[in-house]
Structure 1
Amino acid sequence: MSPNLEMLRSTYEGQSSENATRLLDLLAADAEWVEADGFPYAGTFRGPDAIVANVFKRLATEWIGYRAEAHSYLEQGDQIVAFGFYSGTCKETGRAMRAAFAHHYTFRDGKIARMVQYVDSHTVRLAMQA
């Protein structure tokens, strides 16, 4: 297993708060984070502060037990794709969801330079509808 894959796996396999800390440590200062069109948190965010503010803080405040669990990975050079499922319960509606995802990472010098999300946005939006 490559060092990049080993580090990335550690961001999915622990407690959510620990995973977030490890992920922040892996982000390049100019990292680009692309949340899929149609996803409630859609957009392109640059740098750890923007990524935390526009994605992770919202997930932490709008969901109960939100998790991203990867079950398999593909690696080629500096590219890694993680496949898995999001799960959690929307605080506002009390509805639970489980949505498939793929995260495509590009590494540069041992750091995440870019992540592009592919996700079943419909499933997530259904859980958020009152």
Structure 2
Amino acid sequence: MSSNLDVIRATYEGASEDNGRALMAALAPDAHWTEAAGFPYAGTYVGPEAIAAGVFQRLGSEWIDYHAEVHSYLADGDQVAAFGVYSGTYKATGKAMRASFAHLYRLKDGKIVSMEQVVDSAIVRAAMAHEA
């Protein structure tokens, strides 16, 4: 049986498509996924379909080479935190960014029931801003 840490690591440490499949398989049917206030995709999405459409499909269509690279994990019972750096180039502006993030996951019976994002949203929004 995989540990909670193994479940979360599998969503970051493979090829993008593998990570996406691992994430969708790990999400509980009623998982709550909260993108930080100020982030372009801010809000709480409930369920795998809403999470995929509201967050990941948008990242895939609006950014070039968008990545979330984790440098550290902390696991404590049913909680796992992942710390890292987002990077990518916003298609509409051609601007690249690198922004630090933290993701706090809560799991139950090996399934992700919630994720809360903390991110330096100003850096991401700057990459998305058109020059005046």
Q: TM-score range by the shorter chain?
A: over 0.9
Post-superposition offset of 1:41: 0.2
Q: Matched residue of 1:40: which SS?
A: coil
Corresponding residue for residue 39 of structure 2: 39
Amino acid at match of 2:77: G
- Does 2:71 match 1:71? yes
Residue by residue over 1:85-122, the C-alpha shift from the partner in whole angstroms, topping out at 9 and shown as x without a partner, is 00000000000000000000000110000000000000
The runs of 4+ residues in structure 1 deviating greater than 3 Å are none
Q: How many residues align?
A: 129
Q: Matched residue of 2:52: which SS?
A: helix
Corresponding residue for residue 107 of structure 1: 107
Q: Within 2, Cα distance between the matches of 1:111 and 1:7?
A: 8
Q: How does 1:1-130 map to 2 (within 5 A)?
A: 3-130=3-130
TM-score scaled by structure 1? 0.97
Q: Matched residue of 2:8: which SS?
A: helix
Q: Within 2, Cα distance between the matches of 1:62 and 1:71?
A: 25
Give the gaps of 5 or more residues in structure 2. Answer: none
Q: Matched residue of 1:41: which SS?
A: coil
Residue by residue over 1:41-73, the C-alpha shift from the partner in whole angstroms, topping out at 9 and shown as x without a partner, is 000010001001100000000000000111101
Q: Within 2, Cα distance between the matches of 1:56 and 1:38?
A: 17
Cα-Cα RMSD? 0.8
Q: Within 2, Cα distance between the matches of 1:6 and 1:40?
A: 29
Q: Within 1, Cα distance between the matches of 2:99 and 2:79?
A: 23
Post-superposition offset of 1:8: 0.9
Indicate the percent of aligned positions where both proteins have the same amino acid: 60
Which segment drifts farther, 25-34 or 15-24? Answer: 15-24
Post-superposition offset of 1:15: 1.5
Amino acid at match of 1:26: A
TM-score scaled by structure 2? 0.95
